[in-house]
Amino acid sequence: MSWTTADIPDQTGRRAVVTGSNAGLGLEIAAELAAHGAAVVLACRNPEKATAAAATIRGRTPGAEIEVRALDLADLDSVAAFADGFDSRLDLLVNNAGLMAVDESRTAQGFETQFGVNHLGHFALTARLLPHLLATPGSRVGSMSSMGHRGARGSADPKLERSYDRSQSYFHSKLANLLFTAELQRRLAVADADTIAVAAHPGGSNTDLGTEGSALTNWLARRLVPYIAQSPALGARPMLRALTDPAVRGGEHYGPRFVYRGATPVLETPSRAARDAEAARRLWDLSEEMTGLTPAFTR
């Protein structure tokens, strides 16, 4: 069965936080949610770019309710400040922001940047905003993964204890997004919460992901992606379905029909590694240790 953004139910009265929403997939997700009535918080590292994105959304949907707030996922103090200033209902938390194949660097707390931004920052954000989610009936946490999670080999290296491999660091961060979704959903179910965790991937989409870096792969991405990838609007559809389709169940993972591309988002089965329940628990424990946060699942 086909699914398009026309199938998104009315979102009036709902509030969403979308990380990395100043461009690419995040901008499209935020714009569609706003077009269907949701109040959307653009949570971005660069407030100036986010303000420009807000203007773009209002141009597409006059009267759209948009708020811009600073959030740097590479700094857990910034995550704490964002959450401390959030005092409203939260229906949709969209963990979308991400980095791909960047040059070696560390977050403010000393972790490998791709793992730190793509997973740890979002783990901390979810942990801190969980009380708002649990208090909101029908809320969802959506995490953006990648078909690249299937390429993860060996073990993650969040503390940069081995020689840096930009591709494997990215693949493991995307695998972590799926393991996090699985364990978050398990814990929500145990708590009998009315919140669910879902995941999606965009296939190959024409964004700036993978272009920021000095390696040959970054050079190739800058030149080839615009010609071989689908639009950000199509790439955003799997996440939009995961966030809004009433038929979606907790723990599900959506992607384009033909994996790399496709107008219709469909339910996918992630890799065997992403379905390893024990690995998901170990990652959760490690994430608590690295962030110093223990999410509370009581209302």
Q: Which one from 170, 227, 254, 260 is the annotated catalytic residue? A: 170
Looking at the domain assignment, is residue 132 inside a domain? yes
Looking at the domain assignment, is residue 298 inside a domain? no
Looking at the domain assignment, is residue 296 inside a domain? no
Give pLDDT tens digits for 239-259.
999 999 999 999 999 999 988
Looking at the domain assignment, is residue 299 inside a domain? no
E-strand ranges in the chain read: 15-19, 39-44, 66-70, 92-95, 140-144, 196-200, 253-256, 265-268
pLDDT band at 8 (very low <50, low <70, confident <90, very high): very high
Q: For the chain, what is the domain count?
A: 1
CA dist., res. 179 & res. 123, Å (int): 11
CA dist., res. 17 & res. 120, Å (int): 17
pLDDT score of 211 more than 60? no
Looking at the domain assignment, is residue 32 inside a domain? yes
Catalytic annotation present for 227: no
Q: Residue 88 belongs to a domain with what CATH number? A: 3.40.50.720
Looking at the domain assignment, is residue 259 inside a domain? yes
Looking at the domain assignment, is residue 176 inside a domain? yes
**Residue numbers of the domain that contains 124:** 5-291
- What's the order of all strands across the beta sheet hosting 196-200? 66-70, 39-44, 15-19, 92-95, 140-144, 196-200, 253-256, 265-268
Looking at the domain assignment, is residue 156 inside a domain? yes
CA dist., res. 245 & res. 239, Å (int): 10
Mean of per-residue pLDDT scores for the chain: 94
